[in-house]
Structures are given as C-alpha cells and as structure tokens.
Amino acid sequence: MSYFDYTVTAKDGSEVSLSQYAGKVLLIVNTATGCGFTPQYDDLERIYAAYREQGFEVLDFPCNQFANQAPESDEEITQFCTLKFGTEFPQFKKIDVNGETADPLFAALATEKPFVGFGKGIKNKALETFSKANNKKYGDKAYIRWNFTKFLVNREGKLVARFEPTASMDEVEAAIKELL
C-alpha cells in the first residue's frame, strides 16, 4: 500500500486524499505551538521553500497529546505559525497521533518505522523519561513519542525514514535532497 492512498482531514473538516501529492517527496510531521522544538518550524519552512519547486511537500499535523503543547484552535495554530514562522506549507486539522483515537496515517507510519530512541546525551535521556511518562496512558498505541516527529515518504508513496524531534535538521534535509 502507498501512503498516497490515505485520506486526512483539512482544517475546514473536508477530506483530503494524499493522492494529490502522488509523485512528490513528503515530510509528514506532528507539530505543536508551545514545544521546545517549535523553532523547527523555521527549518521546515526554509527546507520547504528551497525544495518545493522540485516536488517536495511538508504536511503539518498539529497535535495536543504531548504535555498540552498545542491547546489552541486550528485557526489560532495557523495564525501563530504564519505570523511567527512565515509557514506556507499545508497544515491540516489538529489530530491525535497516539491511543485509540490516533489518526490512521500516523498509526501506520509509526508502526512501519517504530521509535528507536532520541539519541545520546542528557537532554535526550530526559526527553525519553518525560515522554515515557506522558505516553504511558496509550500503552501499545503510543506510536509517536513527542512533537516534531517526522516521516519521510518517497515519490512512490513508500516510507523511507523516521526522524525523531532530536534529529538534526541538516540530516533531515540531506535525506530529502537524496530523494529529489
């Protein structure tokens, strides 16, 4: 199955088929406005602007399941991202990425490429401890460990990489360039 076969929900509640992105490289990311990783919006927009004309898209899915870091409405989130970070990439309706109400797209992505760790270092170990406590309530449906987890899908609709929020954005960009 191709990830272009999935349907997601736009901010206005309408259904959006990912088939409209067929043939493009996608970076699918769950985001939040009040997270320590929120400045990654700058990098996401920079990368989007640099490679959009080559067939690259960032698909942004706000999520409030991590320490209540995206409590705003969809419209408020869009205004925040547009005004503070100048984002122009597609942003969809706020979703759940964990638990019984997890969006099927994210459940599938995370099942195919499960969490393997945040990396080394004191900050990463602290995040791992904090995320375990936060996600304990989702049990075996804790698919995503934190905000700004990124999934890279190639032009054929196949998942090629998962990047935790602690991954270097240079590493993410290099992987995108390789697929373009």
User: pLDDT tens digits for 42-63?
Assistant: 999 999 999 999 999 999 999 9
Phi and psi at residue 93, to the nearest 5°: -60, 145
Range 26-45 average pLDDT: 95
**Residue 1: its pLDDT value, please?**
81
Maximal C-alpha separation, the chain? 43
Catalytic residue among 16, 25, 35, 176: 35
Between CA 180 and CA 166 the distance in angstroms is 23
Beta carbons of 72 and 35 less than 8 angstroms apart? no
* C-alpha distances in Å from residue 9, one per residue of 5, 35, 42, 149: 14, 23, 24, 19
Which residues partner with 29 through β-bridges?
Answer: 60, 150
Instruction: Give the pLDDT of residue 146.
Output: 95
Q: Domain 3-179: state its class.
A: alpha beta
Between the CA atoms of 48, 51, 54 and 59, what dihedral angle is there, to the nearest 10 degrees?
Answer: -20
SS3 56: strand
Order of strands, sheet of 25-31, starting from the edge strand that comes earlier in the sequence? 56-62, 25-31, 150-153, 159-163
Question: 88-143: per-residue pLDDT in tens?
Answer: 999 999 999 999 999 999 999 999 999 988 988 888 888 888 888 888 889 888 99
In the residue annotation, 35 being an active-site residue is answered as yes
